[in-house]
Amino acid sequence: MGQDIILGKTREEWEAEFPLIRDMSELKEVFWLNNGKKAAEQAIREAELSIEDIMDAERRLARFAAYFRKAFPETKKTGGILESPIRPLNRMQQFLSEKCGSDIKGRVILKCDSELPISGSIKARGGIYEVLKFAEDVALRAGMLRESDDYSVLIQPRFKELFAKYSIAVGSTGNLGLSIGIISAKLGFRVTVHMSADARQWKKDLLREKGVTVKEYGKDYSVAVSQGRKQAALDPYCHFVDDENSRTLFLGYSVAALRLKKQLDAARICVDADHPLFAYLPCGVGGGPGGVAFGLKQLYGDAVHCFFAEPVHSASMLLGMMTGYHDAVCVQDFGIDNRTVADGLAVGRPSSFVGKTMVPFLSGIYSLTDEHMYRMLASLYDEEKIALEPSALAGMAGPCLISSTETGAKYVKKEDLKEKMNGATHLVWATGGGMVPDTVMKQYYETGCRLRDNR
Ligand SMILES: *Cc1c(COP(=O)(O)O)cnc(C)c1O
């Protein structure tokens, strides 16, 4: 049960002010359009971060490329840059069109962050970037490294000795811990991951195998984060990766936009005023989708339309942005349980930094049921032979919502896109799944088939 009085208002008062709250607390799927969105030019001008910050992050990643080629040989083929491919989803587009009973115009493509090297999820962007930045700061301060050096020297024992004096801590539902744990341990940091109750056993096992200290909490993500933050604050040699507030993480994610633009250019996919780009981004605490969307808006301005996707059990960013209360409210206040198979998205209280940053940029947020994610997981595998974890399917509902719902039509009208939809690109961001063990993936798939085929 939720509370009777939340921030001084009764449930009836909340529902009168924000009618979607009723459906949300009944765990129904909803689709919300953001009235706070501004013209991109103005939003960009007023933002705390800029394209220059994103380019600074990109340059830092480029400095580390030589390190990656040595430390993780699987990154050699991309020159030490951690990046994932885009793929057309022709069959899936057809399938979705039939499912939603209306033609999805334009094209649907998938951004396969499930294939990112090292940790197989979008967390390989922000999480790894933040650890690299910390390592660079430490090495520069120690006078052992200059920015113009070949960073492959960082695999030498003298750097491991340096980094061993420091520790890294993070709170996670699983994937962030995986990314940060792996890269931190490789560089030589001591690392502690505070795992929420949602974290899958195999993720904890894998981290322990790599020498990472895993602390488990019976509670949810917010508790794991605050415990991690508290313990880290006691230790001046500990860097806490703060998923709720970190600008560094956010910028690490945002670099994806610069890379994506190159990929779209190479594939001759045009994005401009006549060829809108819709991006559908699975959202947990907000940093991943927020960073990516922020980067896309810097590059494409009003031509890109970014939507976040959340499980009905954890639609915390929706609650925070819609009400304007951001992290002052959590889904549990409204009797929503924050229990979802989409473990990467199981966050009951959103990042206020991300929510506030994204108000002028974001087009909207929708929620979807676990069953819906499961069914699409099975269908994506059947149609395209692509296997993703449930969280990563959240974006897949987007093209149908735009093409076949009243709210979608309202958005298209409001943005004056009706005549342009044939030239549209629907980009579904597949945020993870690359490291899921086969046995677990098989269970996901079978559950999806059962739900879809109603067995
Ligand atoms: C973490 C995660 C997300 C969302 O990122 P946030 O920064 O938490 O919003 C999406 N998909 C997967 C698979 C994730 O692990």
Residue nearest to atom 2 of ligand 1 (CA): 344
Cβ(248)–Cβ(129) below 8 Å: yes
Report d(CA 412, CA 416) in Å as an integer.
6
Between the CA of 284 and the centroid of ligand 1 the distance, in Å, is 5
Between the CA of 283 and the centroid of ligand 1 the distance, in Å, is 6
pLDDT exceeds cutoff 80 at 3: no
Between the CA of 446 and the centroid of ligand 1 the distance, in Å, is 23
Report d(CA 151, CA 12) in Å as an integer.
59
pLDDT confidence of 2, banded at 50, 70, 90?
confident
Cβ(243)–Cβ(272) below 8 Å: no
Give the number of the atom of ligand 1 that is nearest the alpha carbon of residue 175: 15
Longest dimension (CA), the chain: 64
For strands 364-368 and 31-33, give the pairing.
antiparallel
DSSP helix/strand/coil, 121: strand
Between the CA of 124 and the centroid of ligand 1 the distance, in Å, is 10
Residue nearest to atom 5 of ligand 1 (CA): 288
Between the CA of 132 and the centroid of ligand 1 the distance, in Å, is 20
Position 235, amino acid: D
The reported pLDDT for the residue numbered 220 is 85
DSSP helix/strand/coil, 91: helix
Choice among 64-73, 229-238, 422-431 with the minimum mean pLDDT: 229-238
pLDDT exceeds cutoff 90 at 373: yes
pLDDT exceeds cutoff 70 at 35: yes
* Rounded (5°) CA angle 151-153-156: 145
The reported pLDDT for the residue numbered 206 is 94
The DSSP letter of residue 248 is H
**What is the average per-residue pLDDT within 272-281?**
98
The reported pLDDT for the residue numbered 218 is 85
Between the CA of 311 and the centroid of ligand 1 the distance, in Å, is 12
DSSP helix/strand/coil, 141: helix
- The DSSP bridge partners found for residue 5 are 10
Give the number of the atom of ligand 1 that is nearest the alpha carbon of residue 433: 13
Cβ(27)–Cβ(314) below 8 Å: no
Residue nearest to atom 11 of ligand 1 (CA): 431
- The DSSP bridge partners found for residue 305 are 278
Residue to mutate (ligand 1; options 391, 393, 435; most atoms within 8 A of CB):
391
Mean pLDDT across the chain:
96
Give the number of the atom of ligand 1 that is nearest the alpha carbon of residue 121: 13
Residue to mutate (ligand 1; options 113, 121, 347; most atoms within 8 A of CB):
121
Q: How many CA atoms lie within 13 A of 218 on its CB side?
A: 0
The reported pLDDT for the residue numbered 62 is 98
Between the CA of 413 and the centroid of ligand 1 the distance, in Å, is 30
Between the CA of 123 and the centroid of ligand 1 the distance, in Å, is 7
Cβ(127)–Cβ(184) below 8 Å: no
122-177 pLDDT, tens digit each: 999 999 999 999 999 999 999 999 999 999 999 999 999 999 999 999 999 889 99
The pair phi, psi for residue 254, each rounded to 5°, is -65, -25
DSSP state string for 170-192: EEESSHHHHHHHHHHHHHT-EEE
Query: Which tokens sit at 321?
Result: 């942005």
pLDDT exceeds cutoff 80 at 407: yes
DSSP helix/strand/coil, 5: strand
Residues with CB under 6 A from ligand 1: 121-123, 175, 282-289, 344-345, 389, 391-392, 431-432
The reported pLDDT for the residue numbered 455 is 65
| Other C-beta atoms lying within 10 Å of the C-beta of residue 336 | 23
Helix extents (H) in 267-315: 287-300
Between the CA of 24 and the centroid of ligand 1 the distance, in Å, is 21
Residue nearest to atom 1 of ligand 1 (CA): 344
For strands 190-195 and 277-282, give the pairing.
unpaired
Q: Residue with structure tokens 């594939």?
A: 267
Q: Residue with structure tokens 């993720």?
A: 203
Query: Which tokens sit at 299?
Result: 């590059």
Give the number of the atom of ligand 1 that is nearest the alpha carbon of residue 389: 13
The reported pLDDT for the residue numbered 454 is 84
Residue nearest to atom 10 of ligand 1 (CA): 282
286-327 pLDDT, tens digit each: 999 999 999 999 999 999 999 999 999 999 999 999 999 999
Chain centroid, CA 6 distance in Å: 28
Cβ(80)–Cβ(64) below 8 Å: yes
* 222 closest CA partner among 127, 132, 286: 286
Between the CA of 428 and the centroid of ligand 1 the distance, in Å, is 14
- Residue 207 parent element (H or E): helix 201-209
The DSSP letter of residue 275 is B
- The packing angle between helices 247-266 and 287-300, to 10°, is 50
Residue nearest to atom 14 of ligand 1 (CA): 344
77-134 pLDDT, tens digit each: 999 999 999 999 999 999 999 999 999 999 999 999 999 999 999 999 999 999 999 9
The reported pLDDT for the residue numbered 1 is 60
